[in-house]
Structure 1
């Protein structure tokens, strides 16, 4: 009798273990993460600046140029919602009508964004149209040695569309508006003394991009 009960309980344990293993494998195999490299074009970025000791303001303008980056999305339990980690960089040139550094009116720089937020799909799925919102930090990194880099808070709002090509591959299209906050009165770039300062609370850029998203 004891031997019979022992074998019966062992079979139950094996059955439960098999079901649990199958459930774990099913959960692991289910697509929950998307990784999407993207390329785009970024426009805008005019900032008001002022020379020290002057009441006149002028504009510091970023050249429109290509942008590149990567987006990580993770499905949430609630249908139609994803977490998002967004990283992008833009190689551009900042130009003004005043000397930014001795002898030059332009500075080459790289703009980085690292932001976190989410996506919402009105249709309740993870394909089709969506709206996005992420917040984080923007880094302005001048290429010339001796110039200071700047880190500022930023936010991106936008929308786009995800088109399923296969079960694990999607085409993604985005339109983003990126706002970077600035400290009015803060230095623009320094090279042997700061002679130009921000006279604006921030600047806005628009980015259109496309990429392929891999689900796994």
Structure 2
């Protein structure tokens, strides 16, 4: 079994879900009391969040490179960044290590393509929804058409993530707001919705959308299990 390296803590609420999904996946595949071989380097999200909103992306890149290199030195065979937003510097992280980086957008796009969808709605932080590092990868590498909410809706989605979900607060009012935002994207032609922030899975459920949801946290973690167990059988 390969050793999974996880850069976590962004926030730890979703990193805990990664740990659960990965270990459940290994147990389901191998049986008994089997579990994943993994390492996690967990950052202080308070500092990360401040630097994000100050636009200090170079400093953030340095922190992600440091975390990835620590995992490589610790024996990880490949690395996951357990957040969508910090894939803004995925190319720099990948170039700094000699082991693979498993990009969060790729298993998501693969699942969407396999399901036969072309036009998708994207929910995430303002950074993920507005900048091109994520949408561009989905479009350029996978040929997907990506819709994002309008300005007012993007502000709501972002605020709920940073003021509620990252501290483990799940509010019925916010779920209702997300339902309405999803419905408006469906009206614009979205055939499916990407939950493009790793905390949104804590809030939004399949019944909150009239079209399929693609949860990046689950898909990324499942892809890690698949890679870690390649070549193994029960």
Q: TM-score, normalised by structure 2?
A: 0.20
Larger radius of gyration: 1
Q: Which has the higher contact order (CA 8 A, sep 6+)?
A: 2
